[in-house]
Structure 1
Amino acid sequence: MEPFISTTAAKSPSLFLLPSWMKADDRLTAGFSSRMGGVSASPWNELNVGLHVGDRAQDVVRNREVIAEALGWPFEAWTCAEQVHGSRVHRVTAEDRGRGRESRESAIGDADALMTNEKDILLASFYADCVPLYFWDPQREAVALAHAGWKGTVAEIAVRTTEAMTEAFGSKPAEIRAAIGPSIGGCCYEVDENVLRHVRPLLEELSALGIVEADSQERAVLPSSPGKARIDLKEINRQIMIKAGILPTHIEITQWCTGCRTDLFYSHRTEQGRTGRMASWIGLGRGAARA
């Protein structure tokens, strides 16, 4: 069953929510934005939330505000980093709350994963094909987001995030819930040897560990033409999460492909670089969880 469910209310942005998580704890919000329901002009129409793609800054900030309003969260809680396709994990404290929401200069520097156990902080990161990874430890009331392009995937940012949550919050990998959000699929993501030479050793290691079925390994890389293959970053990240100790039954994985569905999402590859960015988000509000 698809975990990311589209929801659109009148005069609100079109968003994809994780209702199974949000029903389990009514303080939790988690999801992914679409390209619809904002104020940006072409070619960023409509709900671009990236400040680095040439769009008007005031339109980007307004789009971020619109999403926060739709979630019922104050915009002051929106907290983000300057992503660099790395694997560094930053622990977000109360002092970090709101960093990056209105300018790149104020964003948390050099981090592709954010984690926190503070309440009323809305972690956000940005995408136009890369893979959003969500982490929620309901026992320690901690959450995290990670941005995984092929470089972050090869650097095993999912493992780094799980390890960081374990060290900082006492999380146990087997108790962490994880989700893999809308991103480019193996159907649309063809790469050449410059990427494959980095991906193959990782897949060989995962195969040697025997943590996933053989057909899952085969689906991860499908040769398409001489020197090229289509790679499934969502599936590879699922396998890395299992390596990190997260239970397969605790991992939600979407079927939405940003490359196929440019009517719903921005796709850097399909739109040849001139496009906007979506946001992933996760946060825990204050108050008592639903019993």
Structure 2
Amino acid sequence: MFQIHRVEECNPVLRQNCIRTEDGTELEYLTFPLLEETGIVRHLFSTRLGGVSGEEFASMNFSVDRGDRMENVMKNYGRIAEVLGCSAGDMTASHQTHTTNIRRMGPEDRGKGITSARDYENVDGLLTDEPGLVLVTFYADCVPLYFVDPVHRAIGLAHSGWKGTVCRMGECMVRAMERDFGSRPEELYAAVGPSICRDCYEVGEEVAEQFEGFGDGVVTPGKRAGKYQLDLWLANKRILRQAGIPASRIAVTDICTCHNPEYLFSHRASGGRRGNLGAFMMLKN
């Protein structure tokens, strides 16, 4: 398996998984043991390894609007579908514009944004209680948020960059699950997925000042004058805790996208020349 740089080498939070595709390619993906322990979901976070895309999209890219060929992207979806035991037509995708808009997905949404057109836009969070329907969201430094309710058998996925985080996307997801499924925060499991870490995420004062009130450590002095380091992992963990999810039910990533640009797409590390990673999750039938 690929040798990755972990922030917490002594206590891995994410598990590396590797399978060999029909053409002999090694496909690697990441999973959270904490979510697997619920027993009701299949999930993964993709890496760059195991797809068919080339150049800056190499090789497991899920973006069709950055210049990659549609046929390559669809083959990539097909390979992930094999891992999950479904088809690309069972997937439904977000339309991310850094909002806190959340949409409940049902059986009628199968394929939307993947194999058929969306009839919605500006949606950064997805919810469902439909078994076999795969939620899909996209990343290249922003924070993936996973939610599992094993009591009411419901799941959620959300995209949370700095704008989503400052607007408390994690809490918005918890409240939406309470409303739609009767979820109780203390019964939820959550995970903060691979994204840019504090050491790599330098921001200006106009961003840093919006995180006043998030507590010590979220914003720290930068490496250059007038700059700051922003810890989205800590900010999102605090949001989830304040929303009522117990600390023992929250897993926070130990892998930074920017530290691992050959393994994970990073907008900052690549200067914008990159594809998209995908977060995938489904309720088992």
Q: Same fold (TM over 0.5)?
A: yes
2:68 alignment counterpart: 55
1:157 alignment counterpart: 169
1:284 alignment counterpart: 283
Corresponding letter in the other structure for 1:133: L
2:234 alignment counterpart: 235
2:45 alignment counterpart: 32
Task: Output the CA distance in 1 between the equivalents of 2:196 and 2:119.
Answer: 26
- Percent of pairs with identical residues: 36
1:17 alignment counterpart: 31
From 107, 114, 136, give the equivalent of 1:124. Answer: 136
Deviations 1:114-162 (A, max 9, x none): 0011111000100000000000000000000010000000111101100
* C-alpha contact 1:99 1:108 (8 A) present in aligned 2: no
The count of corresponding residues between Structure 1 and Structure 2 is: 270
For residue 270 of structure 1, give the secondary structure of its aligned residue in structure 2: helix
Normalised TM-score (structure 2): 0.91
Q: What's the CA shift for 1:53?
A: 1.5
Task: Output the CA distance in 1 between the equivalents of 2:281 and 2:83.
Answer: 14
Deviations 1:4-31 (A, max 9, x none): 2111112252110123322431x41112
* C-alpha contact 2:27 2:50 (8 A) present in aligned 1: yes
Q: Structure 2 regions of 5+ residues with no counterpart? A: 1-10
1:82-231 mapped onto 2 (5 Å cutoff): 82-102=95-115, 105-106=117-118, 108-200=120-212, 204=213, 206-207=214-215, 217-218=216-217, 220-224=218-222, 225-231=224-230
For residue 226 of structure 1, give the secondary structure of its aligned residue in structure 2: coil
Corresponding letter in the other structure for 1:222: T
Q: What's the CA shift for 1:194?
A: 2.1
Q: Structure 1 regions of 5+ residues with no counterpart? A: 208-216, 287-291
* C-alpha contact 2:88 2:115 (8 A) present in aligned 1: no
Task: Output the CA distance in 1 between the equivalents of 2:147 and 2:38.
Answer: 14
* C-alpha contact 1:159 1:241 (8 A) present in aligned 2: yes
* C-alpha contact 1:101 1:107 (8 A) present in aligned 2: no
Task: Output the CA distance in 1 between the equivalents of 2:89 and 2:134.
Answer: 9
Q: What's the CA shift for 1:107?
A: 6.2
The question of 1:250 aligning with 2:239 is answered: no
For residue 222 of structure 1, give the secondary structure of its aligned residue in structure 2: strand
> What RMSD in Å do the two structures reach over aligned CA positions?
1.4
* C-alpha contact 1:4 1:31 (8 A) present in aligned 2: no
* C-alpha contact 2:34 2:251 (8 A) present in aligned 1: no
* C-alpha contact 1:13 1:70 (8 A) present in aligned 2: no
* C-alpha contact 2:81 2:87 (8 A) present in aligned 1: yes
For residue 184 of structure 1, give the secondary structure of its aligned residue in structure 2: coil
Q: What's the CA shift for 1:81?
A: 1.6
Normalised TM-score (structure 1): 0.89
